[in-house]
Structure 1
Amino acid sequence: MSKFTMFLASAASVVTLAAPVLAQDTTADTVVATINGTDITVGHMIITRAQLPQQYQQFPPDVLFSGILDQLIQQTLLSQSLKNETDRMMLSLENERRSLRAGEVITNLTGNAVTEEAIQAAYDARFSGAEPETEYNASHILVETLEEAVAVQAEIEAGADFAEVAAEKSTGPSGPNGGQLGWFGPGMMVAPFEAAVVEMEVGTLSGPVETQFGFHIITLNETRVKEAPAIETLRPELEAELQQSAIEDKITELREAAEITQVDEGSIDPTLLTNLELLEP
């Protein structure tokens, strides 16, 4: 039976109990139970509740209190019945302690790294001095051969409606929509297409432009300068970058100050990591 199943069973049995009344001077060190000389404190219960899956944390406070306390009593009794700690247990405890200590450092680092000043500085570093980026709104007619493209160009230059010709003759997916491609920026179109658009004036028609898809006749509908996104839009991304940078900088600092030795690569068979028998006495 998992510890969560045990908890549910305990919680279900006390659902009608009244919530415990705690003294006003209760602290994390306040003892709520003693089992054969081993104390269980309010602090132990707080940590246990914080680590429960979300569905358990929705239980009423009285159910949680009684269920968690009963769970900790059960765990203490079972723990006391163990006479010898195995290598697997000791290694697991060492790993857990290492992970918790590292996590505490990371929590402090990331909390201190994110300030309004740091976010503004990161935003300014990304966009200050950056060249304005032009976006383009174009339509095209895609055909298979150069001859077809030349004919389409001549037809439009003679006065035919671009959108109607696109709907009739374009083989591209935008044909039924009059060839409209919407807005796009640098790098979003294949190179020959983009190069042709960049050189065009609004309202003009291109000659045939060859790409791997065929031959295009393009008209440039509109251009605009892309504005930098608002800082609030990028806040989650900037915060994540600041936090990651703080962690990486700290690890680099600690590595440079530490004396680290490790085995040569390949000197230990990696498949041994799956051999749990090595942990048996």
Structure 2
Amino acid sequence: MSAPASRPALRGPSRLEKAEGWRAPGQDAGWLNPVTERFLLLLLVRKELRVRYRGSVLGMVWSYVKPAVQFVVFYIALGVFLQLQKDTPAYAVYLFSGIVAVNLFGEVFGNATRSITGNAPLVSKIYLPSQLFPWSSMIVALVHFLPQLVVLVVGALLFGWVPSGTAAVAFVLGLVILLVFTMGLGMLGAALNAAFRDVENFVDLIVMVATWLSPVLYRIAMVEEAIGGTWMWWLYQLNPLTIVVELFHVAFWRYGPDVVERAATDPSLTQPGEPFGLWWAGLLIAAVTFVAGTVVFERSKRRFAQEL
């Protein structure tokens, strides 16, 4: 009687498979998933864009409509009725550069928070690295940000703005701080929203309040005049969104010809710590927020399927 055939021994990944990034099913690269799974990330971005504009007549034109309406309402209410344009040269550029920054913050934060619950069928039925969902929401927000940025640049050029190295550095710093900070908040919000659906409503409130607690509609000199020298003034300055909005102002408004001319006689048009202010504090706070959000997301992701 012949001996039964032995089962082939299970083996681990070979050196070649390890070199090619071999992973067992159900495992992922953690916070590096957006880099290692670029193809899947691109598919999710395309899916979100198609779903968002399915049945829409205007499509991407809506990327212009919301900021345009915001700008017109705020400009008429604050610039014309409250006469803020008299004390702020090129107020239209000042206002729109802040609106663009806050809109990007709101879209990334809101979409990332809803990314897990909004993709519940994918999260609960098949395996996909969960980090791809908030990251794809961030990329979609950047797609909508680009048309607004083009309008802002054109508007600034019409007011005599000339691109410079200082403007480029301020814009890049502001964008990096904004994306790192908001993605940290977004991943934290996504993890909490999977368990508590009330979180997305709090996010909407935060975005609304952030518009008024940042120097978007008014100049920061007005805040310093009201609460300068107090702990509230320092807290206001350390708000990462305040730092980002001020960097966008430096990039597109502060060094326009009308502003430079008026600033020679009106020191209130200058900004604390010009030209880049507290960028280092904003970057540090953004990095800490990103790490905290990533850690909470990583620890929560295995419960997403059950919670959904």
Do both proteins adopt the same fold according to a TM-score greater than 0.5, normalized to the shorter chain?
no
Q: Indicate the structure with greater strand content.
A: 1
Q: Indicate the structure with greater helix content.
A: 2
Shorter-normalised TM range: under 0.3
Q: Normalising by the residue count of structure 1, what TM-score does the alignment of the two structures yield?
A: 0.20
Q: Normalising by the residue count of structure 2, what TM-score does the alignment of the two structures yield?
A: 0.19
Query: Which structure is richer in relative contact order (CA contacts within 8 A, separation 6 or more)?
Result: 2
